[in-house]
Structure 1
């Protein structure tokens, strides 16, 4: 594959992911979850807040509207290009969660939404968060528990296999349930943990199921024929207004020592 072909493929994958994220963001419960994460940051006008894994930048724009200096950070240049196109007045930087481009004790708030499960060592990201936060600064972690995703299906056993096999392909699929201990290990204080479940019934979420099962097929955990049958059933459910996906999201907040 040429570099140009690879770039085109990456662009298409980013566009497909953006479509899924945009559809999920429009769900009312997703908006409530974002608002809750902003509340837990205890925002002070004029303070600096970083949004890690900012994607297309919606939270960065939201935070800026609340009067803070918001900076979006993401390791994906394609996502950052989309973010800059959508929010040209906002600030974005390319970096990973384990190596942030900020000085010690230089930011007041740190938010990471659906990030830590992608990392092999989420504790490194938490340590980096403590490094860049002022003493007393706030950290908020938001993320789904990939082992606990619920999908209504006629074949419960196959659905469990798909969910757990997809989880096992991630760096830290159960990071959400581990947020409290990660924050304790990182030296944070005043830790709180909430769980909020988002329920999706809109056919627009079908691409989410495709993105769930395709890596499982590639890994060999589920055969192509069974995967296609499962997806066909989910499409039938969507067409009959019988689709249901429920995802528990953990929301943890704490203060830097």
Structure 2
């Protein structure tokens, strides 16, 4: 391995560690456990059947699904993330793969779950087609995720807040994929499609890191200048200290039959 490759590997490892910390924090948020439980319920789990969690990250859902008596497998394209998952859940099964190309045979799984995945994909339609391929007839698919264009943050400057939120959304492959879940599934040949929206509301300082990332990313991509980004973030910190901070995040949950 060259020096450059080694440096890139270290940087990738650090990026994964940062993402892992964000995912762990999200899993601890109020309502996160209930949302995962609802996704398992919508899968209509059959003991002994095979269920795949696509974009499994550190593997929490894989372990929780296995506790329901199914053969749960996780798939994720990030080798560093999979290493963390295997370390945390050594009894679970994980595969390195992206949502567009899964290492499973046609009709080989009974359940398919993807949580906070499709907004990262430039072509979520390809992932839906792949889900349709691997699911057995009558199998269940459940998609969950937030609409990144619809984050609601209370602020004295709503126009600036809108600019900052949209600037973050524009960095993603499909920031509005969640609101498209129903049509994506219908267009992909799925039946009995249902959609729910669960809005998580946060009023404590635990969500300040989200505001920080939004401001930093908006500044980095040139959507707002440093002074405006810093001023907006200072206001959010003051709100948190005065118990006037509020962020609302709508999560879409779609389910269907193959």
TM score, norm. by length of structure 2: 0.95
In 1, the alpha carbon distance for the partners of 2:108 and 2:166 equals 39
What per-residue deviation string (whole Å, max 9, x for no partner) do you get for residues 99-122 of structure 1?
001000000000000111111110
Q: 1:233 aligns with which of 232, 235, 255?
A: 235
Aligned residues: 256
Q: Which residue of 2 aligns with 1:101?
A: 103
Secondary structure of the residue aligned to 1:146 is coil
Partners of 1:77 and 1:202 lie apart in 2 by: 34
Gaps of 5+ in 2: none
Q: Which residue of 2 aligns with 1:48?
A: 50
Q: TM-score, normalization: structure 1?
A: 0.95
Conservation of the 8 A alpha-carbon contact between 1:149 and 1:246:
yes
Deviation per residue, 1:68-97 (Å, 9 max, x gap): 111111111121111111111111111110
Matches for 1:197-208 after TM superposition, within 5 Å: 197-208=199-210
Alignment match, 1:77: 79
Give the Cα separation in 2 of the matches to 1:157 and 1:237.
18
| Structure 1 runs not aligned, ≥5 long | none
Q: Secondary structure at the match of 1:2?
A: helix
In structure 1, C-alpha distance between the alignment counterparts of 2:99 and 2:162, rounded to whole Å: 30
Q: CA RMSD in A?
A: 1.4
Structure 1: distance between partners of 2:60 and 2:137: 27
Match of 2:212? 210
- Runs of 4+ with deviation above 4 angstroms: none
Name 1:194's counterpart in structure 2. Answer: 196
Change (3 A) 1:19 1:231: same
